[in-house]
Amino acid sequence: MKKNPKRHPVLLPDDLWARLCREAGRRQAKEQRPVSPAQLAREILIKDLKTKN
């Protein structure tokens, strides 16, 4: 039984993960706060879903 069924890991292709890591690094330098690639991926997905509806 999973503790939180809504949060299941998604495996990304290496090139996509590398792009997310670079973008997270850029954003971290710009905003002066830690940004994880996973958090960035969630933000992008949420923004994408909102624009489609």
Mean pLDDT, consecutive 10-residue segments, the chain of 53 residues? 58 82 87 84 85 75
In a 10 Å sphere around its CB, with 0-12 CB exposed, 13-18 middle and 19+ buried, how is residue 23 labelled?
A: middle
The answer to whether residue 23 is domain-embedded is yes
Q: What is the pLDDT of residue 40?
A: 86
- Residue 25: CB atoms within 10 A of its CB come to 13
The answer to whether residue 5 is domain-embedded is no
The answer to whether residue 7 is domain-embedded is no
The answer to whether residue 22 is domain-embedded is yes
Q: What is the pLDDT of residue 1?
A: 44
pTM greater than 0.75: no
The answer to whether residue 26 is domain-embedded is yes
CA distance 17 to 35: 14
Residues 6+ apart with CB under 8 A from 40: 20, 23, 24, 27
